[in-house]
């Protein structure tokens, strides 16, 4: 009789456990609990809140959100990193205007033969000279300066694109982290519910006299540990949301896009990437062009400039005037500019070497990211497909068998542990896949076209 009562109670507990796997658990974060009412906060929403157009990311284009997105009503201000890079472009633009300016003329005035003795006492024999001196730049200094300033402007524009791409990657990674933390919280909350039901089944079997009290104690320890893990995961999910909201300077409301997080694009063999067209190589090439322009400036400085002067002199004693013309040119005795040319050439050599190194590093990073994307996608498909189905079925059979007294508690715990590990492996693989895809998108971000020619 006791066994019949225990079997009935165990069946009821198992029904509760099955319901716990499909219904939201009360231990989930607040954002997940309100998923039925609040609109989905998608990756596109996060990028828009950070001032990043969603169409600029290939991952967003390949994975369009199917759910409602919470788009901000107005354009958000630039975040500090992008604002600083944009200010750098403004400074480089002003510097190029300055580089194109010619030297200012000088107004000169002299009074001679004053405050002396005899005929030179006072101003009776003074000579007043007033004139203008105009520096003339030779050797193409002005055009060399403009070329250097233009190269620096192009580099600043590329740096601004790098700042935007880095911010886009950071937002995407924080979104992935938050979405993964939310899914882990769901998984651990389900496991906490299953552990609670297993504890009730063990207590009922102990009451019926089918098993010893040790099974109840073991189930109670597992229930407590599962509850602690679920609460910790819920706090981590909430912290991930706070980190994302802090970066965006905007609230992250509603559930995250679960459909996007669990979607895996078809991924075949690694596709060839033109490294020369990437943003990283554009920055390295801009550094090489800047160094070359600096060499041109150094060479132009070796040519001395002329200063042409014209004066009008008035003689106080006779009240006569006379014109004066002068030319001055520095003599490059101690500094002929050769040291500056040598320094600029060495810096150009460094820039070329760093460009060549950037080609190798970028190619290797892209190949590694492509491999990580493919591996994570394969792991996620396996863990979330046949592997997860088999683990769920094994756990279901173990629960039924344990309630009927056919399996011992060790078999049940092993099946539950395998299911929990498979679910967490699936979530981790999804997070790794999206993170690798985001890093691959960042590495293959195209360079801006003619960024410095249209200013």
Q: What is the CATH number of the domain that holds 315?
A: 2.20.200
Q: Check whether 167 has a pLDDT greater than 60.
A: yes
| pLDDT bucket at 1, cuts 50 / 70 / 90 | very low
Q: Taking the model in full, what pTM does it have?
A: 0.75
- Do 236 and 372 belong to one domain? yes
For residue 305 the two structure tokens come to 């400039």
Does residue 6 sit in the same domain as residue 122?
Answer: no
Domain total in the chain: 2
Q: What is the pLDDT, as a whole number, of residue 268?
A: 63
How large is the average pLDDT for residues 422-430? 90
Residue 40 resides in a domain: yes
- Does 237 share its domain with 121? no
Q: Verify that 233 and 349 share a domain, yes or no.
A: yes
CA nearest to 141, candidates 294, 300, 19: 300
pLDDT at residue 450, as a whole number: 62
Average pLDDT of span 363-368: 93
pLDDT > 90: what percent of the chain? Answer: 43
- Same structural domain, 242 and 265: yes
Query: Which is more confidently placed, 101 or 194?
Result: 101
Whether residues 147 and 117 share a domain: the answer is no
Q: What is the pLDDT of residues 279-305, one digit of tens each?
A: 999 999 999 999 999 999 999 999 999
Task: Report whether 168 contacts 56 (CB < 8 A).
Answer: yes
Q: Residue 348: what pLDDT?
A: 96
User: What percent of the chain has a predicted confidence (pLDDT) above 70?
Assistant: 82
When the pLDDT of each residue in the chain is averaged and rounded to a whole number, the result is 81
Q: Which is more confident, 19 or 174?
A: 174
Q: Residue 234: which domain range?
A: 2-102+137-302+337-443
Same domain, 255 and 291: yes
Q: Is the pLDDT assigned to residue 428 strictly greater than 80?
A: yes
Lowest-pLDDT range of 51-55, 220-224, 413-417, 444-448? 51-55
The CATH number assigned to the domain holding 430 equals 1.20.1600.10
Same domain, residue pair 268 and 119: no
User: Residue 41: which pLDDT band, with cuts at 50, 70 and 90?
Assistant: very high
Shared-domain flag, residues 74 and 190: yes
């Amino acid at each position: 009789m006791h066994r019949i009562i225990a079997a009935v109670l165990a069946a009821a507990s198992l029904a509760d456990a099955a319901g716990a796997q499909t219904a939201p658990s009360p231990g989930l974060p607040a954002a997940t609990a309100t998923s039925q009412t609040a609109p989905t906060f998608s990756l596109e929403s996060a990028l828009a809140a950070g001032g990043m157009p969603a169409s600029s990311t290939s991952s967003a284009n390949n994975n369009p959100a199917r759910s409602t997105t919470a788009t901000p009503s107005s354009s958000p201000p630039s975040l500090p990193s992008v604002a600083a890079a944009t200010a750098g472009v403004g400074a480089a633009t002003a510097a190029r205007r300055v580089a194109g300016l010619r030297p200012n003329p000088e107004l000169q005035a002299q009074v001679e033969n004053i405050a002396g003795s005899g005929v030179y006492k006072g101003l009776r024999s003074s000579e007043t000279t007033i004139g203008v001196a105009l520096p003339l730049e030779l050797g193409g200094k002005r055009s060399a300066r403009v070329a250097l300033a233009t190269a620096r402007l192009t580099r600043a524009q590329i740096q601004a694109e790098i700042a935007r791409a880095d911010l886009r990657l950071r937002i995407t990674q924080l979104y992935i982290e938050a979405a993964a933390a939310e899914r882990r919280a769901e998984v651990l909350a389900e496991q906490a519910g299953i552990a609670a039901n297993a504890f009730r089944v063990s207590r009922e079997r102990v009451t019926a006299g089918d098993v010893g009290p040790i099974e109840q104690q073991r189930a109670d320890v597992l229930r407590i540990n599962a509850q602690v893990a679920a609460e910790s995961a819920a706090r981590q999910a909430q912290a991930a949301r706070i980190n994302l909201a802090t970066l965006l300077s905007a609230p992250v409301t509603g559930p995250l896009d679960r459909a996007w997080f669990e979607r895996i694009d078809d991924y075949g063999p690694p596709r060839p990437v033109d490294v020369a067209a990437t943003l990283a190589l554009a920055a390295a090439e801009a550094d090489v062009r800047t160094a070359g322009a600096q060499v041109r400036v150094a060479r132009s400085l070796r040519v001395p400039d002329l200063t042409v002067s014209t004066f009008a002199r008035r003689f106080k004693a006779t009240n006569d005037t006379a014109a004066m013309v002068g030319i001055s040119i520095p003599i490059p005795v101690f500094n002929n500019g050769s040291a500056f040319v040598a320094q600029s050439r060495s810096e150009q050599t460094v820039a070329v070497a760093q460009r060549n190194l950037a080609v190798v590093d970028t190619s290797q990073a892209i190949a590694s990211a492509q491999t990580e994307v493919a591996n994570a996608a394969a792991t996620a498909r396996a863990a979330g497909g046949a592997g997860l189905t088999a683990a769920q079925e094994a756990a279901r059979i173990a629960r039924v068998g344990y309630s009927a007294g056919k399996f011992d508690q060790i078999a049940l715990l092993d099946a539950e542990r395998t299911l929990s590990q498979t679910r967490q492996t699936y979530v981790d693989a999804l997070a790794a896949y999206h993170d690798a895809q985001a890093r691959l998108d960042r590495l293959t971000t195209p360079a801006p076209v003619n960024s410095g020619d249209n200013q």
